[in-house]
């Protein structure tokens, strides 16, 4: 093993004494002499990027622990001190239910306060959108959300937000990364005692009123008027998947008149071990199975489940055969889009220049729904921060009310400008009232979805990932993307009508290695290397007269694109 790694390991055994869990893990590694585990824990520093940190919890430079969190917090503190005057130096912090999330949040606050920056901390775990809201509400220079979103329990993360409530920009993240790189993990961090700094007022708890105001903003997104009929006594099953959603989702729903809600008991309490859903992601059936069983027992027609940091929501509804069926993020997004547009027009609330924002890999059928209602669509790069940036642009132009909805295929939705990240509290309320509104007309969400397909054509979206491991694989992936930039007249037998190469920095967006092909017949294909894994992702969107026809067309496109792989 490299001497540098062994030296780092020895130094950690000597210096990492503040967390007994780390001491026990380091001793166990030394006793087992497991070179593979030691190498993986120390061969690099945990990477900081636009999404902050994310990694396995444990000892080492490549792990999430109090030392890597403190070092990152020191880098962020130095960035804030350089860019903001003293009166603007404050950072809001929140955390989810994951293992050590509360510990990491306290460490971050103790570092910020020791650096002369006021740290605002939620007194209990709160969702990501509540953090985004607090940053703007309190006028902070930055925000930190301790979460690993929907990853398995062994992970945790540290997401950094700018003063606008959006996830940090690439330029700012680059500056923070440079500062982190100059900080010694044990000797370069300023950190005080949390309780002492709290007593001195250098760390402050975020007032309950901020949370109450957030709930008020969520409720203000309702599309119903007193004259609208809605069956709010409908039976609904909800699961927070052992995360942060329980309190805010139930409060928003109950204060909006929804009281017939059954919570999945086994997934009600916050628990970072996620015992009943090892992969707490509402996109996958395994995480939703328990909720589906509850829905069958309660004869409920709607199941909601929010991920651990409550920024994404998945749903299940009764299909034509009466079975509980999971909807995709695209399907739920289209239902919400159509509902919001139709209700705004019916209630004379459609603003001038109404705009929706979605990512380039999100279903193209949404563009046609928006066009039907006279609404402009803006397509952005993958990541909700780019949707947040578009909201900020509209706000800077004095047209914040023009933004009416934003969504991405990965189950993230937002209908208001009060936060700058996806919000599952907002989405849960809108889904429930949409469900109740159609229920009062004798229409189920599955039926409504089929009516959209009947009007716009059945649309199927798929995402396939192709792995390219190691340096050689990375080179192959780059070569494939380059080959896709050549002149390609057709794919899957469909003419290429237009090609967008985001590597050129289109529409004022940052340059990104993403290519989108617009094909004849309202079909498209997007190629995008993953930003977090050695994978090339291919997104295929097919519009056809039936599900069977869409399956066949998807297979043809997939087979054709694999020629390049």
Give the residue numbers marked as catalytic. Answer: 149
Query: What is the distance between the alpha carbons of residues 331 and 366, in angstroms, rounded to a whole number?
Result: 9
Please give the distance of CA 258 from its chain centroid, rounded to a whole number.
Answer: 26
Query: What is the distance between the alpha carbons of residues 424 and 421, in angstroms, rounded to a whole number?
Result: 10
Element (H, E) at 536: strand 535-544
Q: Is 100 within 8 Å of 57 (Cβ atoms)?
A: yes
Query: What is the distance between the alpha carbons of residues 220 and 433, in angstroms, rounded to a whole number?
Result: 13
Q: Which two tokens stand for residue 157?
A: 């993360």
Element (H, E) at 338: helix 329-346
Strand-strand pairing, 236-239 and 302-306: parallel
Q: Is 437 within 8 Å of 229 (Cβ atoms)?
A: yes
Q: Is 79 within 8 Å of 132 (Cβ atoms)?
A: no
Residue 402's contacts (CB-CB under 8 Å, 6 or more residues apart) are: 351, 352, 353, 354, 355, 394
Q: Dihedral of the CA atoms 307, 406, 237, 235 (nearest 10)?
A: 170
Query: What is the distance between the alpha carbons of residues 526 and 516, in angstroms, rounded to a whole number?
Result: 4
DSSP 8-state assignment for residue 559: H
Q: Is 350 within 8 Å of 288 (Cβ atoms)?
A: no
Query: What is the distance between the alpha carbons of residues 306 and 310, in angstroms, rounded to a whole number?
Result: 5
Q: Classify residue 488 by burial, with Cβ atoms within 10 Å: 0-12, 13-18, 19+.
A: middle
Residue 373's contacts (CB-CB under 8 Å, 6 or more residues apart) are: 341, 342, 345, 350, 354
Residue 340's contacts (CB-CB under 8 Å, 6 or more residues apart) are: 223, 404, 405, 415, 430
Q: Name the nearest CA neighbour of 328 among 230, 445, 245.
A: 445
Please give the distance of CA 520 from its chain centroid, rounded to a whole number.
Answer: 32
Angle at 150 between CA 169 and CA 526, to 5 degrees: 60
DSSP 8-state assignment for residue 64: B
Q: Is 156 within 8 Å of 101 (Cβ atoms)?
A: yes
Q: Name the nearest CA neighbour of 474 among 462, 485, 466.
A: 466
Q: Which residue has the tokens 């017939």?
A: 260
């Amino acid at each position: 093993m490299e001497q540098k790694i062994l030296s780092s390991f020895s130094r950690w055994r000597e210096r990492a004494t503040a967390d007994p869990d780390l001491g026990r893990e380091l001793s166990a590694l030394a006793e087992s002499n497991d070179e593979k585990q030691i190498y993986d824990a120390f061969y690099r520093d945990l990477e900081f990027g636009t999404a902050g940190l994310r990694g396995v919890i444990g000892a080492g430079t490549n792990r999430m622990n109090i030392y890597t969190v403190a070092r990152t917090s020191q880098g962020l503190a130095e960035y804030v001190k350089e860019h903001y005057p003293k009166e603007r130096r404050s950072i809001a912090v929140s955390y989810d239910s994951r293992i050590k999330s509360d510990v990491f949040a306290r460490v971050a606050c103790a570092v910020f306060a020791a650096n002369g920056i006021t740290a605002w901390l939620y007194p209990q775990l709160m969702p990501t959108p509540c953090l985004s809201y607090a940053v703007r509400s309190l006028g902070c220079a930055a925000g930190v959300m301790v979460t690993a979103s929907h990853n398995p329990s062994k992970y945790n993360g540290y997401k950094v937000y700018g003063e606008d409530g959006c996830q940090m920009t690439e330029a700012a993240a680059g500056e923070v990364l440079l500062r982190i790189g100059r900080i010694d993990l044990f000797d370069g961090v300023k950190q005080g005692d949390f309780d002492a700094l709290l007593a001195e007022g250098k760390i402050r708890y975020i007032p309950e009123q901020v949370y109450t105001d957030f709930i008020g903003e969520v409720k203000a997104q309702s599309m119903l008027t007193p004259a609208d009929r809605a069956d709010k006594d409908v039976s609904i099953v909800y699961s927070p998947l052992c995360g942060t959603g329980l309190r805010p989702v139930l409060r928003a729903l109950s204060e909006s008149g929804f009281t017939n809600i059954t919570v999945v008991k086994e997934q009600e309490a916050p628990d970072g071990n996620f015992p009943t859903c090892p992969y707490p992601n509402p996109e996958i059936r395994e995480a939703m199975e328990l909720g589906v069983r509850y829905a069958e027992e309660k004869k409920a027609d709607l199941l909601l489940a929010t991920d651990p940091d409550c920024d994404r929501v998945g749903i299940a509804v009764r299909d034509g055969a009466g079975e509980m069926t999971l909807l995709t993020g695209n399907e739920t997004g289209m239902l919400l889009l159509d509902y919001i547009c139709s209700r705004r027009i019916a209630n004379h609330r459609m603003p001038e220049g109404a705009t929706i924002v979605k990512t380039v890999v999100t279903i193209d059928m949404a563009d046609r729904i928006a066009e039907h209602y006279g609404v402009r669509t803006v397509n952005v790069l993958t990541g909700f921060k780019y949707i947040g940036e578009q909201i900020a642009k509209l706000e800077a132009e004095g047209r914040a009310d023009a933004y009416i909805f934003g969504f991405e295929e990965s189950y993230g939705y937002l209908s208001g400008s009060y936060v700058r990240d996806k919000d599952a509290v907002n989405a849960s309320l809108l889904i429930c009232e949409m469900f109740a509104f159609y229920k009062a007309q004798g229409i189920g969400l599955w039926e409504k979805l089929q009516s959209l397909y009947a009007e716009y054509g059945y649309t199927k979206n798929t995402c396939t990932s192709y792995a390219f491991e190691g340096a050689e694989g990375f080179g192959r992936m780059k070569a494939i993307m380059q080959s896709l930039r050549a002149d390609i007249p057709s794919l899957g037998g469909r003419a290429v009508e237009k090609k967008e190469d985001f590597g050129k920095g289109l529409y004022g967006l940052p340059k990104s290695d993403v290519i989108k092909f617009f094909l004849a017949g309202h079909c498209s294909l997007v190629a995008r290397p993953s930003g977090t894994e050695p994978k090339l992702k291919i997104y295929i969107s097919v519009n056809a007269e039936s599900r069977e026809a869409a399956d066949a067309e998807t297979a043809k496109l997939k087979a054709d694109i694999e020629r390049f792989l």
